Structure 1
Amino acid sequence: IVLAMLPRFLERGLQTPIHLAFSYDEEVGCIGVRRLLDKLNGLPVKPTMCIVGEPTNMGVVVGHKGKRSYTAHVRGLEAHSSLAPKGVNAIEYAADLVAHMKDIARRFEAKGPFDDDYDVSHTTVHTGVIDGGTALNIVPKDCHIIFEFRYIGSDEPQTIEDEIRAYARDTLEPLMHAVSKDTGISIECYNDMPGLDINPEDEVVTFVKALAGRNDDSKIAFGTEAGLFQQRSGIPSVVCGPGSINQAHKPNEFIELKQIDECEAFMGRLMDHVCKN
């Protein structure tokens, strides 16, 4: 929609510049935008504000959770299953680590902190993939886990990471090392996507509400690049775009025609604001 309307912006003549930012690999960790922001941070002048056009039904979003994603490699000691006590079962220690993270998740669910603007009002911890072992009669040497946590603004992600690492280091590894010093657990963060948390009274919020013809704002559960624009480049950012996340990431994605109409009206109001004529 933005690209389709560019000729009209050019015809009327800009008095305030508009920058279009195109990224790649957003779905797998907001990878491409990081290079873009490195370039942007080196420019003498930065944009006043940023609008990220993810699907919000043209609502104005002022916050979303941050996310950190991890891989964990549990290195055990192989042995025949008839001699199980002489080995170090990587799957069992991985299960202990997963169970500990589930305890952390339950604690957040029960005790918070909470932000009721979200559908899920607390930080979540989730294990998505676990893979290990070679055969039933072999004590598994390796097990790999992929896990994440999605945190609200009042939680400190490094504190959560430190708690998980401490359990692996101080509780599980001593038991493993008692059998073999060659065993252990390594945990690597492979993606760190900061959350978005903009003051609802900020200029960008007021401005985009006017463009959208709305007085309300909200927060969303899914992540976007807006947090990176805000955190890494200091650019006040909101999320606002046509369509619903309920139709995303599934066959036959679609955007309702009404949403396209609303987005075109949004762009028309932006044109009135930034153009000379």
Structure 2
Amino acid sequence: MRIIEGHKGCYEYSTHFSGLAGHGSDPDRGVNAVEYAARYVMRLLALKDQLRARAPKGSRFKPPWTTISTGALNGGVAHNVIASAARVDWDMRPVQASDARFVKDDLRDYCQNTLLPMMRAVHPGADITTEVLAEVEGLEPTDENEAREIMIELTGHNETDLVAFGTEAGIFTELGMSAVVCGPGSIEQAHKADEYVSLAQMQQCLDMLGRLGDKLGA
């Protein structure tokens, strides 16, 4: 039941590579989508290092910089067949909007000026497209936040935290509302086998919601 007054953005993408199939014994006659996807992943890894150097001074996030994570690389059909299609699933957690623009501009330039000319020199129909699955803005901490003050009163907690994962709270602040995140559970138990929320924390949340109802109805 911590009070979260800020979190990173959550941007999720699938980048698709379309090449040209052929027999593995003559790889230069095809366009191996898996190999170009691997080059793209290497670019993501290079950007990860650059983003560390762009961490805002005094950032309270952990880690304090924008992160990139490669979740999956899929493609190909057999050992001896040049892969005609591949997909890279990846995400980015920006601490600042300028980092998101930096990454997207760099990848766009890398694809247009480096990868695609190499691919299309062999097969003019080769292509790279990125599917946007989500671009959820972060929740930026502010000096004045009515929601934060209400939650401090209701929970009795005087300290607030920042987290690296994303929620819908940033959407509400974009609409001009004040927002915080506060509820049962922990990211330490999330997205893994036997994910759970303790009954004690559920009860704490119900008690807090009861106090909120009393406050709003007063």
> Aligned-pair distance for 1:151?
0.6
- Normalised to the residue count of structure 2, the TM-score between the two structures is 0.90
3-state SS, counterpart of residue 192 of structure 1: strand
- Partners in 2 of 1:125 and 1:184 — Cα distance? 23
Matched, 1:237 2:179: yes
2:129 maps to what in 1? Answer: 186
8 Å CA contact 1:77, 1:139 repeated in 2: yes
> Aligned-pair distance for 1:131?
0.9
Radius of gyration: which is bigger? 1
Matched, 1:133 2:76: yes
Matched, 1:199 2:165: no
> Aligned-pair distance for 1:92?
1.0
8 Å CA contact 2:66, 2:99 repeated in 1: no
2:49 maps to what in 1? Answer: 106
- Normalised to the residue count of structure 1, the TM-score between the two structures is 0.72
**Residue number among 120, 124, 148 corresponding to 2:91 in the alignment:** 148
> Aligned-pair distance for 1:183?
1.0
8 Å CA contact 1:229, 1:235 repeated in 2: yes
Hey, which bits of structure 1, 4+ residues long, moved more than 6 A? none
Could you say if the C-alpha distance between residues 246 and 157 of structure 1 is closer, same or farther in structure 2, counting changes exceeding 3 Å?
Answer: same
3-state SS, counterpart of residue 159 of structure 2: coil
8 Å CA contact 1:77, 1:88 repeated in 2: yes
Percent identity between the two aligned chains: 35
How many aligned residue pairs are there? 217
| Structure 2 residue runs without a partner (length 5+) | none
Matched, 1:59 2:6: no
- Partners in 1 of 2:122 and 2:202 — Cα distance? 63
2:188 maps to what in 1? Answer: 246
8 Å CA contact 2:74, 2:86 repeated in 1: yes
8 Å CA contact 1:114, 1:122 repeated in 2: no
